[in-house]
Amino acid sequence: MWIATQDLPRSAAHPFYARLNRILEQNRFDDYVEEQCSPFYAPTKGRPSLAPGRYFRLLMLGYFEEIESERGIAWRAADSLSVRAFLGLELEEAPPDHSTISRTRRLIDLETHRAVFTWILERLSQAGLVNGETVGVDATTLEANAALRSIVRRDSGETYEAFLMRLAQASGDRNANPRRSRPLGPQTAEQRVE
Task: Read off the pLDDT of residues 31-80 as tens digits, 9 standing for 90 and up.
Answer: 999 999 988 887 776 666 889 999 999 998 998 888 889 999 999 998 88
| Least confident range of 3-7, 13-17, 45-49, 128-132 | 3-7
pTM of the complete model: 0.65
Number of domains in the chain: 1
> How many angstroms separate the CA atoms of 86 and 18, rounded?
7
Residue count of the chain: 194
**What per-residue confidence (pLDDT) applies to 179?**
39
Looking at per-residue confidence, does 145 or 135 come out higher?
145
**What per-residue confidence (pLDDT) applies to 191?**
40
Residue % of the chain over a pLDDT of 90: 20
Owning domain of residue 51: 12-193
Neighbour count for residue 104 (Cβ, 10 Å): 23
Beta strands in 1-158 (DSSP E): 134-137, 140-143
116 assigned to some structural domain: yes
Burial of 69 (0-12, 13-18, 19+ CB in 10 A): middle
53 assigned to some structural domain: yes
Q: Residue 26 — pLDDT band, cuts 50, 70, 90?
A: very high
> How many angstroms separate the CA atoms of 56 and 63, rounded?
10
22 assigned to some structural domain: yes
112 assigned to some structural domain: yes
Measured distance between the N- and C-terminal CA atoms of the chain, rounded to whole angstroms:
57
Q: Residue 150 — pLDDT band, cuts 50, 70, 90?
A: low
2 assigned to some structural domain: no
Cα dihedral: 151, 153, 157, 159 (round 10): -50
Any bridge partners for residue 80, and if so which?
none
> How many angstroms separate the CA atoms of 128 and 192, rounded?
35
Q: Residue 149 — pLDDT band, cuts 50, 70, 90?
A: low
CB 130 within 8 A of CB 152: no
124 assigned to some structural domain: yes
Longest dimension (CA), the chain: 72
Q: Mean of the pLDDT values across residues 103-122?
A: 90
The per-residue pLDDT for range 74-97, each reduced to its tens digit, is: 999 988 888 888 888 887 788 898
4 assigned to some structural domain: no
CB 172 within 8 A of CB 98: no
Looking at per-residue confidence, does 110 or 9 come out higher?
110
Check pLDDT > 90 for residue 137. Answer: no
Check pLDDT > 80 for residue 140. Answer: no
